[in-house]
Structure formats: structure tokens, C-alpha cells
Structure 1
Amino acid sequence: MDGDCMALVYEYMQEGTLQDKLTNNARPPTWKQRIRIAYESALGTKTLDNLENTCTTIWLEYLHKACNPPLIHRDVKTSNILLNANLEAKIADFGLSRAFNNDVSSHVSTAIVGTPGYLDPEYYSSYQLSEKSDVFSFGVVLLEIITGQPPIIGGPEGGHVTNWVSQRLSRGDIESIIDPRMYGQYDINSVWKVTDLARKCTENSSANRPTMNLVVMELKESLDLEISTERTRSGSTTNTYPHNYSRNDNFVSDVSQNSAFEMAYMGGPAPGPSAR
């Protein structure tokens, strides 16, 4: 602090942002690294006894459940997830965060702000912000982690990544959505589990989305699956579809419903979000 001027000083994060890492074709992250980054972004550390430390290491679940009052980040995206030299993740940029009293209401009315592609369509259409708005944005981040695609995909077959994924999964074609730069080095059950989780997070209705606590639990299970497979992985990997996931039943796209929210996804006109 210098006189009346105050500065917010962040720890230096050598590996930049998750967005940088996902677009780095020279060194794309492995599947285990991707899930670990997602898990740490959702949870951080479980050590809650030192508030000074936890304020910089506990993230989405902590903001929603442990802060008093609870906080909604409002701008969860890959460029706001910072990585240190060990690829440990921390969420940054709380300039749009908003407190709410969950003892009184599960949402708060507010002007729309955020980043096109990550905006909760329910928040966009109703101005009703809730912790599930962060869950939606985090679901988009998960889809980026799986696919290596940005939230808005260009080209004739582009559009929002949620629709891009839905169209392929409706044909049971999960291999076509997985980032090819991982070269098949992943546990397919782990990928299915994270994909299913990401789609639940990006449900149009916030009531159908999981809490961050459930997201953390699912990501931990997915990470454990990948770690177990990595220990036994031989030189070649055979990927099979898991028996507990239908190739079509659970992933039929409701394209008409998704299209109704395309303006929110793409950052369209009125009600006019303030993009950052």
C-alpha cells in the first residue's frame, strides 16, 4: 500500500492460465493433468484452519459454502484459472463476484455481467443470479478441458461447445469430442464421467444442475479412475465404451431447447451483458 493507493498482489503463476495451456500445441496437458486442474479449481485444499491461507487456495466450493456471506464468482472461465509450475490451479479475478444471503434467498437480482460463451442462460434471461450460475460456467470449462475447443467454435459446424458436444454424443460418438492431442492416453470411463458431469452442469435449468460439492465428488472419482488406469497402462491403450453408459440414451440432444438460449451463449443483443 502506498498512501491511499492499494494493490492486490498475486503469487506468480509460471504456467499462465488454463486457456494458455489448452491452446499450447507444443505441450498440451495430459488427461490426468486436466482432471486435476479441474478438481483443484472446484475445491482447492481441504485445510480450513488457517483463513489467511485458505483465502488464496480454496475456490468455488469454498466460495459457495464456506464464505460468510457466500460469494458467486460470476466470471469462471479458463483464462481466470491460473497454473503454477506444478500445474496447481487457482481461480483469479474476483472483480465481478457478488455476495448473497442464502438464508434468505437462493438467488440475487443483478445486471448481467460476464463473458460470452460462459454465461448461464437462465441468468441471462431472468437476471436471477445464483451459485448455479458459476456451476454452468464451470461446466463450460469442463467441456473445454475434454475437447480442447473454445466455448464458441467457429466454422460451419461450430456454435457453442455445449451444442457441438451434444450433436456428436447423440450419435454415441465420444471419440470425436475428445481432444486428439491426448493421443488416446486416457481412461475412457473417466472421460465419460467428466463429460456426463459437464452436461449436467450446463443444463438450461439451474434446478437440474449439481452443486459444486457434488461436482468436486465426481471429479475426484474421475481422477481416481485415471490414476488407477495410468498405473496399469501398457504401451497401447484400448478404449471401450463403459457398460453403464448408453451410447445414445443419456446424450440425446434437445437442439431446439439449446437453440433458444443461443443468444446467451454467443453474447447476443438485449438484455445486453457487459463482457469482460
Structure 2
Amino acid sequence: MPWLRSSSSPSSSSSSSSEQCLSCSPCQRECERTAFSFYCAVREQLPVWLLEEMRSMEVFCWDNGSPRAFLPSEALLYATVHDHQDYARYLLNRYSVGALRAPACSFCCCPGSGAPHLSVAVRYNRVAVLGMVMEALKDCGGPAQRREYLDGRGGCLHAADAGKTAVQLAVELSHPECLLQLLVHGARPDGLEVALQRLVSCVVPERQQAQRCLDFLLLFLAKPPPLPCLRDEPQRWQGLLGNRVFSWLCGLAPSPLLLQALRCLAQSGSDRITSLPDFLQPHTLDFLYHPARINVNF
């Protein structure tokens, strides 16, 4: 599957030989053929009715020595990878949170764990599909259950994003729209140190997106965590972040008033932020860090 990495462990050669033996089964080869045809059909954005007919009647995957039909959750992963929004919408409307169950890893016997649909949506920057997932999560029990899902980490070691939350992944990849969706719906705003390091290490064309990720984290962060990088290089970071933000992150001063006001807006919905005047958008908040650069008094 495209969101899984190929194994590079020392046992990969032995596992590869055993997989070749398994593939000698005509039944398994037929499953592999139909599974690939289904993947291609989703990639080609075929109509929803046809994809569902294939999934329920014609397509099989090999699971624990026997064939079975594709699960809605597995079909949703395909729809997310290829940004088939109509199919993703159908699956989430028809199966609700059932479409978000983590499928078992196809490389091992690990049970499904973590939140693979969130990770896949973030990795491929599928903002629209991620928004649909957020809406579906409203049917996922209470706030504690939703938060547990949003903050879930990839549990299988074969997954490309194992051990990372969707928020951490969005920060690492500099996908601010995905990050905002997650934070607005209650995900924990972790990854601040990664956001800072990303800001100074990324190439110039990516810097604006990295800056937006940092801004969004600051908007949702009630109390900054200890940041060794600020302690180790205070002059560098003070010049980059400005006195007020630097002092707040170091625990030496309260957060700036403008940041507190914007935090109230951001936490009430992503549309509140995007509807602000352009000079107040998070990606243009230069005066939050360096107010002396423009003639606005806050």
C-alpha cells in the first residue's frame, strides 16, 4: 500500500521469500489482481456506485490465509490517497466512524491501531477529505474518545508514520491547512520544538508554510512546553521570534494580548481565522513577532 514503507529490517529477505511462496497460491494471486484493479479504479476517480459494486462483489484481499472483501476503512484509505472526495464522502456518510477503523497491517499480524486515515490525509495534504473525517468524528462518542482518536499514534512499525500523531506529521511536512483542521477539532498542539527547527532549516519556498504551522501551534497553545533550543541559543531565537513571543515561550512573560485574542477566535472554528482581514491572518502576523516594523499599535 502506498502509505506503508517497504521493510528494510534484516528479516526482510526471509520474509520476502516466504511471501513469494505464499504468492504461488492461485487464490492469493487472484486477490492481488483484484485488489490492484480496485486501487486503479479509485485512482481513476470512477463513479461511486461502480466502486462500491466492485468492493462488495468483485474485489478481495488476502487476510490470514483466506480471501475476504475489502473493508470500508480500507476503501477510505484508497479514496484519501487519490483525493476521490465523492467516494470518501459516501463511505463516511454510509458507515460513519466504522469507515475510520484502523485495518490490520498487510505486512504482519499487527491488529489495527492508531489513526491511519488522519495520517494519510495529512501526508497527502487532503484538506477536504480531512474535513469530512472531522465531521464524521462528531459521531465518535464523547470528547474524550474524539481526542483519543485525534491524538492517536501509528502503532504498527511497518507504517511510514509510526509513532507520530497527525499533528506532529502536519508540522513536519509543513501542511498548515491540515494542522488547523486538527487543532480546531481538539487535537493536542504538540510539536512546537519541531516547528521551530523546521522554520530555520527548511528551504526558502517552504518557509511561509512552516511559519504558518508555527503560528497555528502558538494560537492553540495555552502554556508552552520547556524548549531547550531557546535556552541554548537565546539571541538567535529572540531575534527570530521577537521579544514578546520569545519571553512568553521561555516562561518569562504572559502571552501577547493579540495572540490571546486570536486564540479565542481560532478555538471557535477555522472559519473565524480565515475570515479575518488579510493583515490579521496568521501567515502575515509579522507584527506579532516584530511590532516595530509596521505602524500599528496593539
Q: Which has the larger radius of gyration?
A: 2
* Structure with a larger share of its residues in strand: 1
Query: Which structure is richer in relative contact order (CA contacts within 8 A, separation 6 or more)?
Result: 1
Q: So what's the TM-score if we normalise by structure 2? A: 0.27
Give the TM-score normalised by the residue count of structure 1. 0.28
